[in-house]
Amino acid sequence: MRNKRHSAKLQAAGIAIVILSVTALHLITPLDRITLHEIYQRLYYIPIIAAAVLFGMRGGFGAALFASLAYIPHISLHWQHRNFDYSLNQYAEIILFNVIGIVTGVLSDRSRRARARTERTAEELQKAYAELRQTFEQLLQAERLTSLGELSAAVVHEVRNPLGSIKGAVEILEDALPPDNPRREFADIAKREVERLDRLVGEFLHFARPPKPAVAPADVNEIVRSVATLTEQRAATQNVRVELSLAPDLPLLMIDAEQIKQVLLNLTINALQAMPGGGRIMLRTFSANGDGVAIEVEDEGGGVDTAIALRIFDPFFTTKEKGVGLGLSIAYKIAAQHGGSLSVSNSERGATFKLQFPSTPPQSARH
């Protein structure tokens, strides 16, 4: 900004110098070299037009006025008495200076405004394009998660049915054994293992396809506090401090508190896993986008590599040796089911995951 003002001053000074130089030419040229004087008086148009193009109507008119004031004394002193007709002609030229200065300035102002409008439109278009791209990414993500949910449901269904048959078959075999037969113990083991598998598969389905949120008015600060309490001990063993920065007076949100707690737990555990050498996790709540609410989990674990940033919300994407790669994709889905969003950005020392809710939940998230 200061640079711009500085260069405008330089340009204005340059214009003034040219006008003064043309006037000086008039003054040092003998009056009998009339052709030269005619050429000089037209030279004034160059700084006038330049000022109009650079500074608009005010610049054009200002330069024309300045040229007039510089030129008039020369006419009245040297020409008015010597050649009256010629001096009239020069006064007419002065009027023309001002007309040209004003007209060129008005046109230049107009084109400047048109350019500004075009630039604004281009900026708006770019913003709209970026939003469209983001929506597209979210749609793609939602699509991938839906496929995952359907696939899991199909697999779970296929596994559960044979499990039921195995359990039934074991019970029949067990019934055939006398009560004191030691083999009954094996039947018991088989039944217990089948039940364990059945539970596991059920949990996986629940995990991959979270049920519709059971929404009720909830205090997000309360949820964040309980996540901090739940993770404090583990954090302490890792030399990690869990700090809170909670905005007061946030509105109650229509959300499924248990699901949101699960999401925040996942994010906090990921943050802990990213900081084996200790550090700080900041859990933050604040108002966002007007009357919406945002929750951030910020860590100091070095952040998410830009090469994988687009994939971390994909199901089964993991960079951890024992990772499953479902945590973030499920969190993303839960956020979307609440009409909200989950995004990541890198801060100076680590990653910041931002969970955002609109203040008015969408119809589907209401009971």
| Residues forming the site for ligand ADP (CB under 6 A) | 266, 270-271, 274, 299, 301, 304, 312, 317-320, 323-329, 351
Question: CB of 172 within 8 A of CB of 182?
Answer: no
Is 123 or 243 the residue whose CB approaches ligand ADP more closely? 243
Contacts made by residues 110-113, CB under 8 angstroms, sequence distance 24+ = 112/56
Is 205 or 271 the residue whose CB approaches ligand ADP more closely? 271
Give the SS3 label for residue 312. coil
Question: CB of 319 within 8 A of CB of 194?
Answer: no
Q: How far is CA 177 from CA 174, 189, 193, 223, in A?
A: 5, 15, 20, 53
Is 75 or 351 the residue whose CB approaches ligand ADP more closely? 351
Nearest distance from residue 281's CB to ligand ADP, in Å? 9
Is 91 or 207 the residue whose CB approaches ligand ADP more closely? 207
Supply 365's token pair.
């998230």
Question: CB of 60 within 8 A of CB of 105?
Answer: yes
Token pair 């583990």 is at which residue?
Answer: 234
Is 256 or 314 the residue whose CB approaches ligand ADP more closely? 314
Query: CA 75, CA 184: separation in Å to the nearest integer?
Result: 127
Query: CA 107, CA 55: separation in Å to the nearest integer?
Result: 11
Spell out the residues 6+ positions from residue 316 whose beta carbon is closer than 8 angstroms to its own: 148, 324, 325, 326, 329
Nearest distance from residue 156's CB to ligand ADP, in Å? 19
Nearest distance from residue 57's CB to ligand ADP, in Å? 57
Is 286 or 316 the residue whose CB approaches ligand ADP more closely? 316
Nearest residue to 217 (alpha-carbon basis) of 265, 247, 250, 262: 250
Is 207 or 317 the residue whose CB approaches ligand ADP more closely? 317
Nearest distance from residue 364's CB to ligand ADP, in Å? 24
Spell out the residues 6+ positions from residue 271 whose beta carbon is closer than 8 angstroms to its own: 281, 297, 298, 299, 301, 350, 351, 353
Nearest distance from residue 351's CB to ligand ADP, in Å? 4
Nearest distance from residue 323's CB to ligand ADP, in Å? 3
If DSSP states are collapsed to H, E and C, what string results for 170-184?
HHHHHHCCCCCCCCH
Is 221 or 270 the residue whose CB approaches ligand ADP more closely? 270
Nearest distance from residue 221's CB to ligand ADP, in Å? 22
Is 262 or 270 the residue whose CB approaches ligand ADP more closely? 270
Nearest distance from residue 337's CB to ligand ADP, in Å? 17
Nearest distance from residue 273's CB to ligand ADP, in Å? 7
Supply 12's token pair.
């204005």
